[in-house]
Amino acid sequence: MTALSIGDLAKCAIPPEAIFFRDTEALGEHLRNRDEIELSTLGQSRAGQLLYGYTMGTGPLTVSITAGCHADEPVGPMTAQILPELLRLYAPELLELFSFRVVPQMNPDGADANRPWFASNPDFATYVEHAVREAPGDDVEFGFSEDEKARPECRAAIPFLWHHKPVAAHFSLHGMAWAEGAWYLLNELWAGRSDMLMDELIASAGCHDMPLHEIDRKGLKGFTRIREGVATTPSSIAMRAFFDDENDPEMAAKFLPSSMEVAMATGDAPLCMVSELPLFLLDVPPSIENPVLFRFRDALNEARAKGGAYALQELIQTFRLRTVPIATQIQLQFTMMVRALHHVASQRARPSK
C-alpha cells in the first residue's frame, strides 16, 4: 500500500468537530462512539476525573502515544482524539503494521483549568490572562513512575501503555505557547539514523509556510541541537542536574522519568518523538545567537509589568504575533507520526548485518 506524500498529508482534511476542547465527559462520549477502537478506563486524575486509553490496529509492532501532559497545550489531545479517523482515511497501512496504545488526555484537571482562554482561534491577550501551567517538578510529562509519590495520572497510564510488550515508537504530543516556528524532538538513539525523516519533517513545515524554531541549548536539560528545527528529547537526569547546579536539590528530586524515558526502558530501542508546535507564531527572523523565544519572554514580562492593553498590543505588533490555525497544528502532528512510523517500519525491515 503506497504511503501519501508529504504534500498530500499536508492537505488532509481536519473536520471542524475535531477542534474542540473536550472535557472528560465529552471525551468519554466521543471515544465510546468510535467503532474502530477499544476503549479502556485507566484510573483517575488528582481531582477524580476519569483517565481514558484506547487501542487500535492489528500490526505486530506497538506504538504508544500520550497527549495533554502540559496543561496549556490543548492541540495534542485534539490530534489524539481524531487520530483513529485520520489513520483510517490517510494512512490505513499503518494500522496493519502497528498496534496503537493511546492516552488522549493525560491531564484532564489541567485542561479544565485552561478552558477560560480556549477558542477555535485563540486570542493572545486572553491566553496571557488565563493560561495555567503546572510548576516544574509537578508537570505530568516528568512524572511517569509507579512510585507512590508520582501523580495518579502517570501511575494509571504506565500499565496500559508499557506493561504489554516493548514499543517500537512513542510519541508525546506537545506544543509551545509561542515560538518562531516548529520544533521537533527525537531521542538521541535515533538522531544519527533519521536524516531522511528530519528532511521530511522540515518539508512538512514548509508545506504550511511554517518556519522552524531555532535555538541551541547545548545539552541543557537534555536538549541538544541536531539541526535547525530539530533537537534531542530532554531527560529527567539532565533536568535534575540542572536544578542541582542551581542549588535547588528539592526541586531536582521532583523530576521523575518522562514518557520518552519509560518507553525507551521497554527494551526495544524505540524511536521517541515530541512535537513542539507554537500556538502563537512570532513572525520575526530566527537567531541562534539571540533566540526569539527568550527575547519575547523578556519583552512579555516587561509588558506585564507596565500593564494595560496598549503594552500588550505593542508587543504583538513588534513580534508580528499571530495565531497558528489549530487545524494546521493537527496536520503537522499527524504528519510527524505518519512519516516517523514509516521510517521505523523501513528500519525494521532492513536485514541485520
CATH number assigned to the domain comprising residue 152:
3.40.630.10
**Residue 109, domain member (yes or no):** yes
**Which pLDDT belongs to residue 352?**
53
Number of folded domains that form the chain: 1
**Residue 318, domain member (yes or no):** no
**Which pLDDT belongs to residue 310?**
85
**Residue 23, domain member (yes or no):** yes
**Residue 298, domain member (yes or no):** no
**Residue 45, domain member (yes or no):** yes
Q: Which domain holds residue 174?
A: 6-282+325-349
φ, ψ for residue 275 (rounded to 5)? -90, 130
Give, for all 353 residues of the chain, the pLDDT tens digit. 568 999 999 999 999 989 988 999 999 999 999 999 999 999 999 999 999 999 999 999 999 999 999 999 999 999 999 999 999 999 999 999 999 999 999 999 999 999 999 999 999 999 999 999 999 889 999 999 999 889 999 999 999 999 998 999 999 999 999 999 999 999 999 999 999 999 999 999 999 999 999 999 999 999 999 999 999 999 999 999 999 999 999 999 999 999 999 999 998 899 999 999 999 999 999 999 999 999 999 999 999 998 878 889 999 999 999 999 999 999 999 999 999 999 999 988 765 54
Q: Spell out the SS3 assignment of the chain.
A: CCCCCHHHHHCCCCCHHHCCCCCHHHHHHHHHCCCCCEEEEEEECCCCCEEEEEEECCCCEEEEEEECCCCCCCHHHHHHHHHHHHHHHHCHHHHHHEEEEEECCCCHHHHHHCHHHCCCCCCHHHHHHHCCCCCCCCCCCCCCCCCCCCCHHHHHHHHHHHCCCCCCEEEEEEEEEEECCEEEEECHHHHCCCHHHHHHHHHHHHHCCCCECCCCCCCHHHCCEEECCEEECCCHHHHHHHHHHCCCHHHHCCCCCCHHHHHHCCCCCCEEEEEEEEEEEECCCCCCCCCHHHHHHHHHHHHHHHCCHHHHHHHHHHCCEEECCHHHHHHHHHHHHHHHHHHHHHHHHCCCC
**Which pLDDT belongs to residue 351?**
58
Predicted model pTM = 0.96
**Residue 75, domain member (yes or no):** yes
**Residue 161, domain member (yes or no):** yes
